[in-house]
Amino acid sequence: MALRTALWTVMTGAAQKAARALKRDFGEIEQLQVSQKGPSDFVSAADLRAERTLRTELQKARPKFGFLLEEGGEVKGEDGHHRWIIDPIDGTTNFLHGIPHFAISIGLEMDGEMIAGLIFNPIADEMYYAEKGKGAFLNDKRIRVSARASMIDSLIATGIPFHGRPGHKPFVKQLERVMGHVAGVRRMGAASLDLAYVAAGRCDGFWETGLQPWDIAAGILLVREAGGYITEIDGGKNVLGSGNVLAANPKLHKQFLDLLAGD
């Protein structure tokens, strides 16, 4: 049975309200206004509308909490301890190309620690949710990371640096190391869903560098509450701060860490 707490009600309600407009926009992509924030970095009217909805709904329920928003930046809260970390559309490039693999991501941080996370793919109607110490869920079902113990049997997700982002050559070296030791590598275009898939046991591991807090805040908690390990690629603990992420089940994490480290 899924978690049904007051926090769950607040977060799922906000996500579902934002998702209704997103689904309409997804059906009329050619009508959307799109602007470019940087090389290969786009923002659409749909992103902005979804972010406004999420902020409005969450602020109604928890008026003193702060925000870290992909489009709106940081908004200090009176509370001083809690902060919502929000990506209104993780996977904007997928969204703008009509690919139904994107998500709303909402994380709640308390004094620097993630205490709740939600990742919602509105097209697939898949709602991933976790609260610290209470487990991770997909819709009404408890989820756990996979039990695979060998890299050769594992399916690994990743993100590829695109135009305008550094790290192309190091990534190619990492990919070359990983390709020869796993059953498959997937690049699906939404880091939040990659982490959700690790939490649900669909993927056995995930790595990517240069991510933003809103890409990973919710996913960090989901993986941990599903029994997985998540660290920086060098094994460090400052995942949210560095944006360099390695997530896997407990049996594979050290193997994966060593494989990416190489010689």
To the nearest whole number, what is the mean pLDDT of the chain?
91
Separation of alpha carbons 166 and 63, rounded Å = 38
Sketch out the chain's domains with CATH numbers: 6-143 (3.30.540.10), 151-261 (3.40.190.80)
pLDDT tens readout for residues 79-88? 999 999 999 9
Tens digit of pLDDT for each residue in 119-157?
Answer: 999 999 999 999 999 999 999 899 999 999 999 999 999
In the numeric block, which tokens belong to residue 195?
């982490």
pLDDT at position 162 is: 67
For the entire predicted model, the pTM comes to 0.93
Q: What is the DSSP letter of 200?
A: T
pLDDT band for position 164 (cuts 50, 70, 90): low
pLDDT at 26: 87
Using only C-alpha atoms, the chain has a radius of gyration, in whole angstroms, of: 18
Give the helix, strand, coil percentages of the chain, each rounded to 5: 35, 25, 35
Model confidence over 91-120: pLDDT tens digits? 988 998 899 999 999 999 999 999 999 999
